[in-house]
Structure 1
Amino acid sequence: MMAEFDGRAGSRNEVLCLAAGVADVVAEGLRGLTRRMPGPAEVRQELRARGELALRRNGAAPEAHMEILARQAATRLQDG
């Protein structure tokens, strides 16, 4: 089934063509990705490394160990 493109912005056919184009780009990207990745173990390692980087970049950094100890000591001094 081949839909004719009528040239009107927002038409049903245009939306269908755009969606098909996006799906084709995504599918091509996935095909390229699977060609570059040699095996499941390497894929898992790569995804884990990317996830750790993303969490470090976007997440709150954990408090430094010495900072935690200093706060605990300060609390003990205040309490008596």
Structure 2
Amino acid sequence: MTMAQSDGRAGSRNEVLCLAAGVADVVAEGLRVLTRRMPGPAEVRQELRARGELALRRSGAAPEAHMEVLARQAAARPHDG
């Protein structure tokens, strides 16, 4: 019987800790591979930025278009007639 099975609360904390450690390990391994492939810090930064932009597009967390925000603000203003 594992700690997660014996005590639900301690087990859930342990699971979160293990998941976070697993994610950190995957990230660290990815960074090691990335830094071996790229010759310098500028290339690493460029690669990370490109990957981040792709990840944001995939998740749909893109910022609102500037003109769209301005149009909404203009439409919300009271009109003097």
TM tier relative to shorter chain: 0.3 to 0.5
TM-score between the two structures when normalised by the length of structure 1: 0.43
TM-score between the two structures when normalised by the length of structure 2: 0.43
* Structure index of larger Rg: 1
Higher helix content, 1 or 2: 2
